[in-house]
Amino acid sequence: MNETILTALISGIVSIVAAFLLALPGLRAFRKQQEKEAAESKKIDAETSKIYLEMASQAAKREMEKSGEFSMLQKRLDTLEHEFNDVVNILNDWVDGFDVLTGQLKGADISPKWQPNPIDIAKIKSFKKASQ
């Protein structure tokens, strides 16, 4: 082999080895930076997961509280509806009683001094129809 080629070949190999040796600290620093970023990423993921779980827990707690409030309101509404129906039934009995009393008075040739307003009676009867 020609001495020039051999010298060029050895120079090239030495240059490549030197470049690799010079690049080693940079590669190590790059690798450490990657490991550091991966660790920080895991830490951020863990913190994010913790925050998400806390928020989900709080949301679930609020939903349970609202569910309890809704249940209480539903029970109260059922009670009020039952009481309203009772009042409507009582009022309808009174309307029927007023009709009977008015008829009795008229049958005895007595004019009643007071009679219920026909509009009020119609409203009470409409309540009964609506509640059935």
Domain parsing of the chain, residue ranges: 3-131
131: CB partners within 8 A, 6+ apart = 84, 85, 88
Average pLDDT over residues 96-100: 88
φ, ψ of residue 19 to 5 degrees: the values are: -65, -40
Say yes or no to pLDDT of 79 above 90: yes
| Residue 68 pLDDT | 85
Q: What is the CA radius of gyration of the chain?
A: 47
Q: Which of 123, 121, 103, 120 is nearest to 112 (CA)?
A: 103
Written as six digits, the tokens of 112 are 């009643």
Cα distances (Å, whole numbers) of residue 31 to 14, 26, 35, 41, 42: 25, 9, 6, 15, 17
pLDDT tens for each residue of 10-62: 888 888 888 877 878 888 888 899 999 988 998 998 899 999 999 999 998 88
Q: What is the pTM of this model?
A: 0.51
